[in-house]
Chains A and B, each alone.
Chain A
Amino acid sequence: MKRARHRTATPVPPAAAPPAGEQVAPARRRPIGLNALTALALGVGGYALGHWVGSRIAIGMDSQTATDQDDIAIFMGFVFAVAGWLLGLGFLSYPLSRMAGRPPALREKEDEGPGRYFRLCTDHKVIGMQYFVTVLFFFLIAGLNGMFIRAELLTPNESLWNAGQYLSLVGLHGTMMLIMMSAAVLGPFGNYFVPIMIGARRMAFPRLEALSFWLVPPAGLILLSAVAFGGFPTGWTGYAPLANEARGGMDAYIFAFALIGISMTIVGVNMLATVLTMRAPGLTWDRMPIFVWGVLCTSVLMVLAAPVLFSTLAMATLDRTVDTSFFLASAGGSPFLFDNLWWFFGHPEVYILALPGFGIVLEILPVFSRKPLWGYRLAVAGMVGVTLLSFMVWQHHLFVSGMNSDLRPFYMLTTELISIPTGFIFLNGMGTLWRGRIRFTVPMLFSLAFFSNFLIGGLSGFFLSDVPSDVTTHGSYFVMAHFHYTILGGLVFAFFAGIYYWLPKMTGLSFNERLAKLHFWGMFVFFNLTFAPLFAAGLLGMPRRVSTYAPRLQGLNDFVSISAFLLGLSMLVFVVNLVYSMVIARVPAESNPWHSRGLEFQVPTPVPVKNFEQTPLIQSGPYDYGVPDAPPVAALSPPARVAPAAGGG
């Protein structure tokens, strides 16, 4: 009676909740619980079953059975695997209970002990930690792929990998980074801190929140399984018709990316509903932390863009399995259709990566400048402006593709216009530093580096947005350096700023500062030494995604590869620091180590299960540093029944 055991969990008073990560014996034994292990077993079993079902379906379809890799069987395998995985976690317990006429069990939140990190748990703080560990794990794998790519490029000819392996590494690196980095900020920090920052006790849809997380590990594992099917040759963009002729690894790519599309849509809906409806009384729009604005704008992008991704991949799936021809010119379809659908998702995706980074750095700068955020409304306008414009620029990826050439001036204009709201973010950052009391803590260093990196990324974008210049730079290493400057230099630096800023609050343990500074300087210096020369490589005629290049470029490439290895080493410093600080040294962190005014730092560490004993009453903005007589950001135990209605604005 698996179900009965699962339901026996009794509510535990919040005060008894153990600190995150601390070794506490679980209150009850669950010999056959619904947890990640059960889920994995059912997932693997589900794949076998689905593969068998799919191969029965494919009987009689020559396009499937004539090849040694049957796409229908692989897709059905993945579908059943995910169903088994969710069943194993207990996501189906609720509908199944209802169908069996039993009262449903919804006790996941009161779960406790370290085991809850491996089970379906609807506590947003647990989900934040689950996201953090998962995203970091896959981020490091994707980074390792980057090292393998650079190792190949030490020589101008194929050396370490053969052509197919090299392309698979390129595709895995890009796709893994894209799908994990889309969740890198909203997953850990959005889930953990948005409810606390807005004075709520939970997210609007806790079970959807759990679902959005539990789709991420199967997506990552299925993407990795592409290696077992011979990899995939398309890079992260998955362009048809190349994708149509690729082998089974392509199915893994399509399915994993589509799962992330679902997860992103859910995250977006959930965040939107939470921020729009669950703000504490007094939290007006102009008192909302700028990070929450960043999350809100990102959520809008996710809700609007991720379904396009899913539909595109569904069409690609139909092309591969039942011989439709959406993207095949020889059968009446159009490769342009894929290009346009892809970038209609793909360009907002770029801002799905960038906006949370804007939010984090603007959240951190005031704390360590001890000043209010300079030009708060302009920052909000910048984020909203980026959100709106990001849907109007996608054809700049297709300037030389043979698209209607009348459209090129329009997309040149919109692309350049988007630098205006992005410039607002720079002005906010610069104004916040002005006459501040700047403290160079590690989160601050990462935030400052963000501006330097993103500046270079943005200015190189001017070359790419101008059609004559783009003719040479398109599809070259110039583009590759450009988006690494904006995504790695922007988002990932902001991600690490967030880690050093918030993880002590999440775990109650502080980082070793010496190692953290070593990590920062290594990462900052070698990031620039790796990617700045790649602008030159692109301008000198090196296309992306090649394992062979002109011998005259070998010196440049060797320099880049060595810098990249040292950049990888700086990540190792981070991992060492993480393990040392969080597992070995375990120096407790103060409840508010940065003397921040943010509401998330006013609650005790570890954060109680319900976050707040009562709904807090927000009294002032989160950045009122230096404001004489500024009240605390919130009254955590306001007298009953004086709270005004939730902020308008």
Chain B
Amino acid sequence: MTADGLVPGQPAEPLHARRLVVIWAVLTVVAVPVVVLLLGPHLPPGNLSDEARDQRHVNIVLAALATPVLVGVWVYFVYTLAAFRQRGAALEDGPPLRGHTGTQVTWVVATGAIVIALAGWGTYELLGPAKGAGGGQGPDPLAVPKDAKSALQVQVIGQQWSWTFRYPGYGAFETPQLAIPAGRVVELHVTSLDVNHSFWAYELGVKADAIAGTDNVAFVRARHAGSFEIRCAELCGLWHGHMRTTGVVLSQPAFAAWVRGQEAANAAATKVLPPYSSHYFPKPLRRAG
């Protein structure tokens, strides 16, 4: 692809282009399976949710596509630098090649085709099978999973410097622990009380910015019980690096029990909370200084 006949070869050295293609093809045939089969299963973010799995799938495809390009350009550079280096100290000029229409057209068409195909496939994945793949989609999500109507609603509230979670389906109690049931679509409503944060549940494959005044919706469906790391992924001030906690995926009965316990434990506090809303403005933002 990269090396194919940059010039109509002169009779003295006719084989460079062919050699390059062969080296590139051999290395690609070796490297792509290595990337897909050996590296692929270890690519993040893992297997805990449908969304994480979809992301991994996309990452494997992109890695498989990037490998031949990387190998091709590197092979080309190493080969040409070795083959066409100036031997001896004499200063001599190379052939005055100014370009080759066929090669240029091929290159433009090939890169254009790869790029358009990638964008088309990416859009199909995003809106089709991957259903947004865990990213924050704003108040009007476009890619909605099949069972979204029966989704568990969880509000994620970022503030300097902690995360809290409200469960509007259960009296809208607020808790610093995030638990979600396995096998059920969860609709996360991410918002902030102060500056921009970003809710990043790494193993779940969820990231959604928390911005004051905005209801940022992300969907996730955990596949099995487990735990996941929650971090803030948008610089939010002094203790940004400490804004982390661990969330859990529970089996459905365990989740039901957990929710009942939380509801009871937080009953007193829930009474004095502001009514559930897509966003809150608890205090005017004043200077910290």
Of the 9-residue stretches B147-155, B237-245, B263-271, which lies at the interface with chain A? B237-245
Q: Are B73 and A426 in contact (CB under 8 A)?
A: yes
Answer whether residue B104 sits at the interface, using C-beta atoms and an 8 A cutoff.
yes
Of the 9-residue stretches B28-36, B86-94, B163-171, B173-181, which lies at the interface with chain A? B86-94
A376-B194 contact, Cβ under 8 Å, with A241-B285, A472-B44, A626-B93: no
- CB within 8 Å of B: which A514-558 residues: 539-541, 543-550
The CA of A208 and the CA of B111, in the complex, are separated in Å by 41
A459-B232 contact, Cβ under 8 Å, with A468-B133, A475-B198: no
Q: Are B99 and A374 in contact (CB under 8 A)?
A: yes
Of the 9-residue stretches A91-99, A137-145, A231-239, A495-503, which lies at the interface with chain B? A231-239
Shortest A428–chain B CB gap in Å is 9
Q: Are A370 and B92 in contact (CB under 8 A)?
A: yes
Instruction: Write out the residue numbers on chain B whose beta carbons fall within 8 Å of the beta carbon of A451.
Output: 73, 77
Answer whether residue B289 sits at the interface, using C-beta atoms and an 8 A cutoff.
yes
Shortest A183–chain B CB gap in Å is 25
Kindly report which residue of chain B lies nearest to residue A423, judged by CB atoms. B111
A548-B241 contact, Cβ under 8 Å, with A63-B287, A435-B97, A469-B55: yes
The CA of A599 and the CA of B289, in the complex, are separated in Å by 56
Instruction: Write out the residue numbers on chain A whose beta carbons fall within 8 Å of the beta carbon of B247.
Output: none
Answer whether residue B26 sits at the interface, using C-beta atoms and an 8 A cutoff.
no
The CA of A375 and the CA of B103, in the complex, are separated in Å by 10
The CA of A280 and the CA of B246, in the complex, are separated in Å by 67
Q: Mark B136-150, 1 if CB is under 8 A from A, else 0.
A: 111111110000000
Q: Are B198 and A437 in contact (CB under 8 A)?
A: no
Instruction: Write out the residue numbers on chain A whose beta carbons fall within 8 Å of the beta carbon of B232.
Output: 543
- CB within 8 Å of B: which A212-257 residues: 230, 233-235, 237, 239, 241-242, 244-248
Q: Are A235 and B99 in contact (CB under 8 A)?
A: no
The contact of A329 among B59, B118, B198, B211, by CB within 8 Å, is: B211
Shortest A435–chain B CB gap in Å is 6
A433-B93 contact, Cβ under 8 Å, with A413-B119, A459-B66: no
Q: Are A545 and B97 in contact (CB under 8 A)?
A: no
The CA of A336 and the CA of B213, in the complex, are separated in Å by 10
A402-B208 contact, Cβ under 8 Å, with A167-B238, A408-B126: yes
The CA of A491 and the CA of B111, in the complex, are separated in Å by 23
Shortest A439–chain B CB gap in Å is 5
The CA of A370 and the CA of B86, in the complex, are separated in Å by 10
Q: Are B84 and A437 in contact (CB under 8 A)?
A: yes
Kindly report which residue of chain B lies nearest to residue A242, judged by CB atoms. B195
Q: Are A471 and B229 in contact (CB under 8 A)?
A: no
The CA of A628 and the CA of B45, in the complex, are separated in Å by 59
Instruction: Write out the residue numbers on chain B whose beta carbons fall within 8 Å of the beta carbon of A408.
Output: 126, 142
The CA of A234 and the CA of B132, in the complex, are separated in Å by 29
Answer whether residue B127 sits at the interface, using C-beta atoms and an 8 A cutoff.
yes
Instruction: Write out the residue numbers on chain B whose beta carbons fall within 8 Å of the beta carbon of A540.
Output: 44
Q: Mark B1-37, 1 if CB is under 8 A from A, else 0.
A: 0100011000001001000000000000000000000
The contact of A371 among B2, B96, B284, by CB within 8 Å, is: B96
Instruction: Write out the residue numbers on chain B whose beta carbons fall within 8 Å of the beta carbon of A324.
Output: none
Q: Are B115 and A419 in contact (CB under 8 A)?
A: yes
A372-B233 contact, Cβ under 8 Å, with A244-B285, A247-B289, A404-B140: no
Shortest A424–chain B CB gap in Å is 8
Q: Are A420 and B85 in contact (CB under 8 A)?
A: no
A420-B207 contact, Cβ under 8 Å, with A400-B135, A412-B126, A546-B241: no
Q: Are B97 and A374 in contact (CB under 8 A)?
A: yes
Q: Are A242 and B94 in contact (CB under 8 A)?
A: no
Kindly report which residue of chain A lies nearest to residue B52, judged by CB atoms. A472
The residue in B112, B206, B241, B242 that gathers the most chain A C-beta atoms within 10 A of its C-beta is B241
Answer whether residue B130 sits at the interface, using C-beta atoms and an 8 A cutoff.
yes
Q: Are A402 and B287 in contact (CB under 8 A)?
A: no
The CA of A66 and the CA of B86, in the complex, are separated in Å by 71
Kindly report which residue of chain A lies nearest to residue B279, judged by CB atoms. A329
Instruction: Write out the residue numbers on chain B whose beta carbons fall within 8 Å of the beta carbon of A69.
Output: 289
Kindly report which residue of chain B lies nearest to residue A471, judged by CB atoms. B135
Kindly report which residue of chain B lies nearest to residue A338, judged by CB atoms. B196
Answer whether residue A571 sits at the interface, using C-beta atoms and an 8 A cutoff.
no
Q: Are A475 and B97 in contact (CB under 8 A)?
A: no
Q: Are A433 and B202 in contact (CB under 8 A)?
A: no
The CA of A247 and the CA of B289, in the complex, are separated in Å by 6
Shortest B1–chain A CB gap in Å is 11
Q: Are B207 and A471 in contact (CB under 8 A)?
A: yes
Shortest A532–chain B CB gap in Å is 12
Q: Are A433 and B86 in contact (CB under 8 A)?
A: no
Answer whether residue A430 sits at the interface, using C-beta atoms and an 8 A cutoff.
yes
Instruction: Write out the residue numbers on chain A whose beta carbons fall within 8 Å of the beta carbon of B136.
Output: 400-402
Kindly report which residue of chain B lies nearest to residue A332, judged by CB atoms. B213
Instruction: Write out the residue numbers on chain A whose beta carbons fall within 8 Å of the beta carbon of B80.
Output: 430, 433-434, 436, 438
Q: Are B55 and A468 in contact (CB under 8 A)?
A: yes
Q: Are A626 and B94 in contact (CB under 8 A)?
A: yes
A434-B289 contact, Cβ under 8 Å, with A329-B213, A330-B281: no
Q: Are A437 and B86 in contact (CB under 8 A)?
A: yes
The CA of A476 and the CA of B130, in the complex, are separated in Å by 21
Q: Are B59 and A335 in contact (CB under 8 A)?
A: no
The contact of B119 among A398, A417, A595, A626, by CB within 8 Å, is: A417
Q: Are A539 and B200 in contact (CB under 8 A)?
A: no
Top 5 nearest A-B pairs by Cβ distance? A329-B213, A468-B133, A626-B93, A546-B241, A402-B216
8 contacts between A and B (CB under 8 A): A245-B285, A336-B214, A369-B94, A405-B141, A433-B77, A433-B81, A437-B86, A468-B58
**Contacts beyond the supplied A462-B65, A467-B133: 12 A-B pairs with Cβ under 8 Å:** A245-B286, A248-B289, A329-B214, A369-B94, A377-B99, A401-B216, A406-B142, A413-B123, A420-B112, A471-B51, A595-B91, A626-B95
Using CB atoms and an 8 Å cutoff, list the residues of chain A in contact with chain B. 63, 66-69, 163-164, 167, 230, 233-235, 237, 239, 241-242, 244-248, 328-331, 334-336, 339, 369-378, 398-406, 408-409, 412-413, 416-417, 419-420, 423-424, 426-427, 430-431, 433-440, 448, 451-452, 455-456, 459, 462-463, 465-472, 474-476, 539-541, 543-550, 595, 624-628
